[in-house]
Structure 1
Amino acid sequence: MQEYRVPTENKTDKVRRGLWVAFIVSASISIFLAFSSRKNPTYLPVESSPVFVDVTIPATNGVEPTLDNSRLLQTNADRPGFKALDLDQTIYILLTGLDKWDKNSESGAGLTDTIIVAFLDKSGGKAGLISIPRDTWVEVPDYGPYKINQAYMLGEAYGYPGGGPGILMETAGNLLDIEIDYYAQVDFQAFVVLVDAVDGVVVDVQEEIQVYPNANTKDVMQVLSPGEHLLPGDLALGYVRTRDTPEGDFGRTKRQQQLLIGLQEKIFSYEILPVLIPRMPGLYRDLTSNVETNLTLNQIITLAWVVKDINPQSIQTHVIKEPTVTADINDRNQYILVPDLDQIRKIWKDMQNISATPIPEPTQEITLEEYLAEENANLAVLNATSSPGLAGVTAEFLEEKGFQIGEVGNSNKFKDQTFIYDYSGKEHTVRALLSAMGYTENRLFYRSDPSVTADIVIVLGADWVQENPMDELE
């Protein structure tokens, strides 16, 4: 009997893993939604100038998707391009929150109020992230000294190669003495939409704080008293944006990480996927113009699976603050934070060299049958080949593995490849199904269609006839 082990993480472990993956997860969901039914042009990951490709996907009853998981979610050709994922090397990712409400009057570009650099070392089983304050005084390539959150605006305004993301990747990389490989940029509006999509996020407020749901107009102020609060998207954004506290920008950075932890815990909770999937069409509409990255969907999925297996004690976090930065006023009468480059780089290097103690083997075990029974997923198997009876034989094979088959039939089109469509977020059933059929996540697609009664739809392609784990078709 196949057995599944249940992780025995404590709250500290969740915090460590959550800080690294929360932003990636948030961006991943946004990117996934946009890829799932994007009507605007996207760019192919090629070394030359990108070309426009229409990847519109209509809502259907399990027909194959037209999207290509290798496309980049970018609507501007002047962006950092595709880069192959080499997990034998340490991966560096720039994670930014773009404030389009705070636009520069000349360029129209927003300011990056959240700047985080993450690293992932698969071979060493380590990951971490470091938060860079927005007022950090840095050398911006070609333009000289500026606050780091102004770098994006300069890149957008004056045509720097790669635009705002490109110049910010180089600027943050120079600060830490590394070359950053990827970026994931989420606008604050996308943040609001994501928090509302999971029905709010719980935060533990440490001290009374005044929050403006609309930080642009500041017309309705609310006071959050100490204790736990369930914050909707607008209040959550106000909570992480305000600097009207004794700690100023450093306090805001801490609250950003706190909110990311809460968002991560909500997204990773067992019951949230069935809630998110029916909301995907509306989420797509709200998010497509607010998320950007040079990571493909396949790369994001790969990174997520790698992080999932990392020892939480090996996930390091740090906020750059005094004494590694010193507050000052520059000759432009601006408040700035002057960094101690040697100390910051030493901290960053040490974060990547820390090793964790081994995690004890968990003792609680749950069988695959128990997981399948708990989710009670209803599967449909459709034959999209010229081989008669293929769906029936496959259904019998899957029933012997413990899956519930509610529908067996034929697809309306011939398919070369087999695809699996999840309409309900049955996580354990999907994973077990992929394993039983010998497939990886690149065959899995999430869909939202009220007319589909099955939880999971399997469309069998010609490749299933040629190669499969069933004795009946050998």
Structure 2
Amino acid sequence: MSIFSNKKKKKQTGFRVHGNEKISFYQKKTFWFFTVFIFAIIVAGGGFLYKSGSILSKMSGGKESVFGSLLGVASGEEIKQEGDGRTNILLLGMRGTEILGGDLLADVIMVVSLKKDEDKIALVSIPRDLYVKIPGSTDSSKINAIHAYGEQAGKKEGISQMKKAVGEITGMNIHYATTIDFVGFRKLIDAVDGVDVTLETPFYEVSQFVKGNECGGEFTLPAGKNHLTGETALCYVRARENTSDFDRAKRQQVVLQSLKSRLISLGTLTDFGRVSNILDAIGDNVRTDMPAGEMRGFFDEYVGMQNAEIYQRVLENTEEGLLRVPEDIHGAGYVLVPRAGNYDYSKIHEICKNIFVVARQSDVDPVNQYAKPQRKIRTIPIKVIGELEASSKYKAKATQKIFQIKIEGNYAGNQITIDLSKLPKAKDEGTVNVKIEDLSIPEGTKVISHMPTKTVVKIKIEK
């Protein structure tokens, strides 16, 4: 969220691709995910007016005052757009501070491009594993980490950095960006008393949540109609290890469509009590660089586009998807790069520029699970490299160089490497124990067994 996602949204967001699987996640109603927040704010009049201004101020990261936000909503301002009439919005699904393992990482990365005069909307999903240059740096990383780099050291430039990176990839001028985290998603589901999803077959996630005993450890849903609370909906849209990141993004889309239907069917947006709960949810868990006045202008301009024609494109590791998995990117792990060459986005630019006229990408439903999957468990070695820095009168030496560890998850590598030079300096004589938590465990992978203690490497410090 992504949340969603993985939104990517693989998924995204940011998403792992398996084989030649091709999934295009977005159906005609996707656009409601974004507009529902704006609509809720605008209709929340009367006793909620001040709260709306306060929430908008929070959403802007404090860049607008409460009073300024209220004036903006009341007046409405012209929205930004290209010469051809397109307005491009970046949607990011974030993990949030309550989710361990990278609270500032973007799991869903999706560009929404709107062309009002032709009543068309384009959706471009970017996988979180795309290997890109970090804006303003000579370094590179997976795109899902760009937001975190921008937020570090109090810079608060996560959104702007992501806009730059996505703009370079797509060739589009990104006018606005909005983030929502997993907690905000969960609160929104609970604010409307849950959502319904209907499954052709049971759904299983028996690997991802076992270690932390989240979602009941092994998360399952039966075939047929399921009513999901905020918590179970979050588990459903986060699950990916027994399916894929692309499949996760599709499920996120299904839940968001159900949320939209729930909002409309319950008359939620005219129920001030429910609107208050929604405002409370989004205030702390949604961020945008769209000024309040332009939110109002955006709503006035685009609220009539819910029946617009939708054009989808998902960047993936197929010829049609324009990406590939390279043999090696300097130890970066599983990444994706353009088929045209590293950092060569020319083909992607061409697709995005002409997305309303080029042949559409195929659409595939989420995978049906006809049997309960087995947990993916295997044993791989840990390779120790580098030297531990010690005080001047001491020297450090690892007593062993390779250990084995049992892991569970989708990690495709043949070993896990630990670099001693990146550990804190050893100050005293004795032994330094490198523990499980010191390892750089790949995302989506868990250590399920190890030596009798949590120590994986012992380093002797001596004169």
Confirm or deny a common fold (TM above 0.5). Answer: yes
Could you tell me which of 68, 82, 87 is aligned with 2:71?
A: 68
Kindly tell me: are residues 52 and 198 of structure 1, through their superposed partners in 2, closer, same or farther at Cα, counting changes over 3 Å?
A: closer
What is the match of residue 259 of structure 2?
263
CA shift at 1:191, angstroms?
0.7
**Do the aligned partners of residues 156 and 254 (structure 1) sit closer, same or farther apart at CA in structure 2, a change above 3 Å counting?**
same
Q: Is the 8 A contact 1:118 1:127 kept in 2?
A: yes
State the Cα deviation string for residues 39-74 of structure 1 (Å, max 9, x = none): 86976999xx98773549xxxxxxxxx932359xxx
- From 284, 297, 304, give the equivalent of 2:279: 284
Q: Does 1:20 align with 2:31?
A: yes
1:266 Cα deviation from its structure 2 partner: 2.2
**Taking structure 1 as reference, are residues 308 and 174 closer, same or farther at Cα in structure 2, changes over 3 Å only?**
same
2:352 corresponds to which residue? 348
The equivalent position to 2:96 in structure 1, one of 87, 96, 100, is 100
* Aligned counterpart, 1:399: none
Counterparts in 2 of 1:87 and 1:32: CA distance versus 1, 3 Å: farther
| Cα distance in structure 1, aligned partners of 2:255 and 2:211 | 17
SS of the equivalent of 1:348 reads helix
Aligned residue among 44, 65, 71 for 1:53: 65
The within-5 A match list for 1:118-267 is 118-143=112-137, 144-158=139-153, 163-210=157-204, 218=214, 220-221=216-217, 222-246=219-243, 248-267=244-263
SS at match of 2:30: helix
Structure 2-normalised TM-score? 0.58
Evaluate the alpha carbon distance shift between residue 147 and residue 216 of structure 1 in structure 2; reply closer, same or farther with a 3 A threshold: farther
What TM-score, normalized by structure 1, do the two folds share? 0.57
**SS of match in other structure, 2:132:** strand
| Mean CA deviation greater in 237-246 or 87-96 | 87-96
Q: Which residue of 2 aligns with 1:397?
A: none
Task: Give the stretch that moved more between structures: 24-33 or 287-296.
Answer: 24-33
Distance 1:262 1:69, change over 3 A: same
Instruction: Indicate how the Cα distance of structure 1 residues 39 and 110 shifts in structure 2: closer, same or farther if over 3 A, else same.
Output: same
Q: Is the 8 A contact 2:181 2:286 kept in 1?
A: yes
Aligned to 2:72, what secondary structure does the other structure show? coil
Can you list the C-alpha shifts for 1:133-174, whole angstroms capped at 9, x where unaligned? 2111122212332111100011111566x6000000110111
With over 3 angstroms needed to count, the CA separation of the structure-2 counterparts of 1:52 and 1:24, relative to structure 1, is: closer
Give the distance between the partners of 1:184 and 1:325, measured in 2 at CA: 25
Alignment partner, residue 472 of structure 1: none
How far did 1:339 drift? 3.0
Higher helix proportion = 1
1:300 counterpart SS class: helix
CA distance in 1, matches of 2:266, 2:305: 20
Q: Deviations for 1:240-267, whole angstroms, at most 9, x for unmatched residues?
A: 1111233x11111211222222222222
Q: 1:124, 1:279 → 2: CA distance?
A: 34
SS at match of 1:117: strand
Give the Cα separation in 1 of the matches to 2:294 and 2:176: 11
Q: Match for residue 37 of structure 1?
A: 51
Query: Cα RMSD (Å) of the superposition?
Result: 4.0
Task: Summarize deviations over 1:281-333 as a string: whole Å, max 9, x none.
Answer: 34433432111112234433443444443484622123222312223453225
C-alpha separation in 1, matches of 2:55 and 2:197: 37
Identify which range, 293-302 or 25-34, moves more after superposition. Answer: 25-34
Would you say how many aligned residue pairs link Structure 1 and Structure 2?
317
2:109 alignment counterpart? 115
Contact 1:70-1:296 within 8 A present in 2 as well: no
State the alpha-carbon separation in 2 of the partners of residues 153 and 284 from structure 1.
25
Three-state SS of the structure 1 residue aligned to 2:80 is coil
Decide whether the 8 Å contact of 2:55 with 2:279 is kept in 1.
no
Gaps of 5+ in 1: 1-14, 57-65, 72-81, 357-474
Q: Show structure 2 runs of 5+ residues with no match.
A: 1-25, 340-344, 361-463
Does the C-alpha gap of structure 1 residues 157 and 103 become closer, same or farther in structure 2, counting only changes over 3 Å?
farther
- Determine the C-alpha separation between the residues in 2 that align with 1:104 and 1:237: 14
Residue 117 of structure 2 aligns to a residue whose secondary structure is: coil
- Assess if the C-alpha contact under 8 Å between 2:172 and 2:353 holds in 1: no
The percentage of aligned residue pairs carrying the same residue is 25
Report the Cα distance in structure 2 between the residues aligned to 1:104 and 1:119, rounded to whole angstroms.
32
Q: What SS does the corresponding residue of 1:67 show, helix, strand or coil?
A: helix
How far apart, in 2, do the equivalents of 1:170 and 1:41 lie?
26
Question: Are the equivalent residues in 1 in contact too, given 2:111–2:124 (CA < 8 A)?
Answer: yes
Q: After superposition, give the CA deviation of every residue in 1:377-413 in whole Å (9 maximum; x if it has no partner).
A: xxxxxxxxxxxxxxxxxxxxxxxxxxxxxxxxxxxxx
Q: What letter corresponds to residue 353 of structure 2 in structure 1?
A: K
Deviation by residue 1:327-376 (Cα, 9 ceiling, x = unmatched): 345322521122333443333233234699xxxxxxxxxxxxxxxxxxxx
The verdict on how the C-alpha distance between 1:131 and 1:216 changes in structure 2, with shifts beyond 3 A counting, is farther
**Partner of 2:337 in structure 1?**
338
Show CA shifts across 1:64-86 (max 9, x none).
Answer: xx932359xxxxxxxxxx99534
Deviation at 1:28, TM superposition (A): 5.1
Shift of 1:122: 1.6
In 2, Cα distance between equivalents of 1:279 and 1:154 = 36
Q: Aligned partners of 1:290, 1:230: CA distance in 2, in Å?
A: 24
Partner of residue 85 from structure 1, selected from 64, 74, 80: 80
Q: Give the Cα–Cα distance (whole angstroms) in 2 for the partners of residues 30 and 245 of structure 1.
A: 38
Counterpart-to-counterpart distance in 1, 2:300 and 2:56: 25
Q: Closer, same or farther in 2 for the Cα pair 1:347/1:256, shift >3 Å?
A: farther
